[in-house]
Structure 1
Amino acid sequence: MVQFDLPLDELRAYRGSSAEPADFDAFWQHTLKEARQYPLDARFEPVDTGLTTVDVYDATFSGFGGHPVRGWLTLPAGTSTPVPLVVQFVGYGGDRGLPHMHLLWPATGRAHFVMDTRGQGARMAGGDTPDPVGSGPSYPGCMTRGIESPHDYYYRRVFTDAVRAVEAARSHPLTDASRTTLAGGSQGAGIALAASGLIPDLGATLADVPFLCDFPRALAVTHSTPYREIADYLRVHRTRVAQVRATLSYFDGVHFAARAQAPALFSTALEDQVSPPSTVFAAFNAWPHPDKEINVYEFNGHEGGGPHQEAAALRWLRGRG
């Protein structure tokens, strides 16, 4: 193993280095109140995909600013009574993809809702959700869009979309809102952590190698993108370091994790320089629910446990969500 972060015994005690803003809760309460002034307008249009074991719906709902956000809702074919729900968020640069890419959770008898990430989509099927909000100067990518202010920052819109995605998925008559699991890997896991801290009545959270956690630590220990986008921005905008750190503190997964109220399964990889293990452990250690586990993959990078972690999640989730 090539060790670049803290030893494992220190990781298990590490609590993070991000200072929580005094108005963190007020900021997010106000943000969600603004978003909920727009009708959710959740729509589910049946799609003929050629798949016979699932029913697929092209979903649209109103996210931040009332902007339309897309997704796929996939149900086991012929579902007639409400089933448990998994809401999934995707990795950096990804999008909702195509329906046949989302068969794992319906194969367990659950409904599956995957949210398209606004303004992304360069790495999968192209993306179907634009981000109509502009920003000031930024480094190519998403990490510095609107980073001058928490009110303008890109992830304020994305995290709000995520909460609304859960509300939309739960509004479908064939999903059991009382048994909702949030899931994601990398950026998707970071979004899941944020939504977990903002939604009080979830059944479980699955967070694989979560990104967007403990920003100060990440910027100190890794040169890898996407965190590198922030460093490259500050390399030019030298006088904005304090301003940027203040903005990022409102979006740190550690602070959301500290507010979560559901059981959780995390994973981390000790050679992961995209989501350094110390940043993952900071969020895991902040998670207050006693029913939590973290799987550590000693010789892996950002791929983490891959299919092994998926298999672990299937086993762990039995009886929880």
Structure 2
Amino acid sequence: MALYDLPLEQLEAYRPEIAEPDDFDAFWSTTLAQSRSAARAPVAVPVDTGLARVKVHDVSFSGYGGEPIKAWLSAPAEAAGPLPVVVQFQGYGGGRGLPVEHTLWPSVGVAHLMVDTRGQGAAGWGSVGDTPDPHGSGPAHSGFLTRGILDPHEHYYVRAMTDAALAIDAAAALPGVEASRIIVAGASQGGALAIAAVGLHDAPIALMADVAFLCHIRRAVDLVDGDPYDEVRSYLAAHRDRVEQVFHTLSYVDAANHARRGRARALWSVALRDTTCPPSTTYAAFHRYGELGGEPDKRIEVYPYNNHEGGGAFQIKKQLEFVTELLAGAV
């Protein structure tokens, strides 16, 4: 893929205005409070996975509206005391998968909570899911972006982002987890959910967001000629009179708006040939990160020749270094 977005020197200075509703904070405060009022304590059941060095719990916690969300909690089998935890969210279409897929963080002495994504986990690329989304929708394009698109109270990603924020509550209450050292991570859709979780919750000490989805959504819809963003274009091609209403709803789930409220130290990554999540949309959110959260330390790794796969194992290595330094107090 050839370069198609802004050149790097312009990306590094790209700070566009992004629509944010006046009631953004009130909307999210009310949404989270309503869901927390319906929440129950998380349940963690030990499971035998055949992994001799990793202990695994099958977790169920309360998400949006008190609805149950599944997750896997994995930790080193020999761990005696509470551990830092990486709370991770999955990419578009993926679920929590199987426990054998999540051994990286336990192998370095850190607990790991792999959170399921409601209504997803049958994308065909692996990572099966176990959490239904019991909500219906008005007319919508296939996929998730236009489910409930005419009202933020009904939009799919409001539910998913509420689940993400409440996953932090659950992680802090789980056995063997050190509640004061929660790190949030994700790539693509998972990156957007991680950014939202950090913007909505003040407990996490760090964020790791890779090739994040749902950033500067209106620009992404104009740039991307393919799904998931093409779901919005296809919807508006039919509903020609709903353009501003659609983008108003999406402004509540735009990760660039959530990023402004981030308070945790952050490691981001971007791929300059990413045709799924354009680099300018990532930079738009990255530059806004922490504006309202005290301007925490942040940095971004750039992969000039990669598409949506981003940095792959090279970025994982950067994350391991970041977490090691963070937990040692050196970041």
Please tell me whether the aligned partners of residues 18 and 215 of structure 1 are also in contact (alpha carbons under 8 angstroms).
no
Alignment partners' CA distance in 2, 1:151 and 1:77: 42
- Which deviates further from its counterpart, 226-235 or 35-44? 35-44
Cross-structure match for 2:283: 281
Q: Deviations over 1:130-161 (max 9, x none)?
A: 00011101001111100110000000100011
State the identity %: 51
Alignment partners' CA distance in 2, 1:282 and 1:30: 27
Alignment partners' CA distance in 2, 1:58 and 1:109: 19
RMSD: 1.1
Deviation at 1:177, TM superposition (A): 1.0
- Which deviates further from its counterpart, 139-148 or 282-291? 282-291
Please tell me whether the aligned partners of residues 88 and 114 of structure 1 are also in contact (alpha carbons under 8 angstroms).
yes
**Amino acid corresponding to residue 314 of structure 2 in structure 1:** H
Cross-structure match for 1:71: 71
Aligned 1:12-27 pairs, distance under 5 A: 12-27=12-27
Please tell me whether the aligned partners of residues 53 and 77 of structure 2 are also in contact (alpha carbons under 8 angstroms).
yes
Alignment partners' CA distance in 1, 2:225 and 2:245: 21
Cross-structure match for 1:188: 190
Runs (4+) of structure 1 exceeding 2 A deviation are 123-126
Aligned 1:199-238 pairs, distance under 5 A: 199-238=201-240
**Amino acid corresponding to residue 37 of structure 2 in structure 1:** Q
Please tell me whether the aligned partners of residues 62 and 69 of structure 1 are also in contact (alpha carbons under 8 angstroms).
yes
Cross-structure match for 1:42: 42
Please tell me whether the aligned partners of residues 40 and 63 of structure 1 are also in contact (alpha carbons under 8 angstroms).
no
Alignment partners' CA distance in 2, 1:158 and 1:285: 24
Please tell me whether the aligned partners of residues 201 and 261 of structure 1 are also in contact (alpha carbons under 8 angstroms).
no
Alignment partners' CA distance in 2, 1:94 and 1:16: 31
**Amino acid corresponding to residue 308 of structure 2 in structure 1:** H
Alignment partners' CA distance in 2, 1:159 and 1:54: 29
Name the SS for the 1:148 alignment partner: coil
Cross-structure match for 1:116: 116
Alignment partners' CA distance in 2, 1:286 and 1:109: 32
Alignment partners' CA distance in 2, 1:40 and 1:110: 26
Please tell me whether the aligned partners of residues 187 and 210 of structure 1 are also in contact (alpha carbons under 8 angstroms).
yes
Structure 2: unaligned runs, 5 residues or longer: none
Structure 1: unaligned runs, 5 residues or longer: none
Name the SS for the 2:161 alignment partner: helix
Give the number of the structure with larger relative contact order, counting CA–CA contacts within 8 Å between residues 6 or more apart: 1
Alignment partners' CA distance in 1, 2:39 and 2:307: 42
State the TM-score, normalized to the length of structure 2: 0.95
Alignment partners' CA distance in 2, 1:296 and 1:97: 28
Aligned 1:151-300 pairs, distance under 5 A: 151-288=153-290, 289-300=295-306
**Amino acid corresponding to residue 9 of structure 2 in structure 1:** D
1:313 to 310, 319, 323: 319
Alignment partners' CA distance in 2, 1:126 and 1:75: 21
Alignment partners' CA distance in 2, 1:215 and 1:246: 11
Deviation at 1:17, TM superposition (A): 4.0
Q: Deviations over 1:27-82 (max 9, x none)?
A: 00000000011133300000000001110000001111111110100011032210
Q: Deviations over 1:157-214 (max 9, x none)?
A: 0001111111111101310111110000000000000001011131100000000110
Answer yes or no: is 1:30 the counterpart of 2:56: no
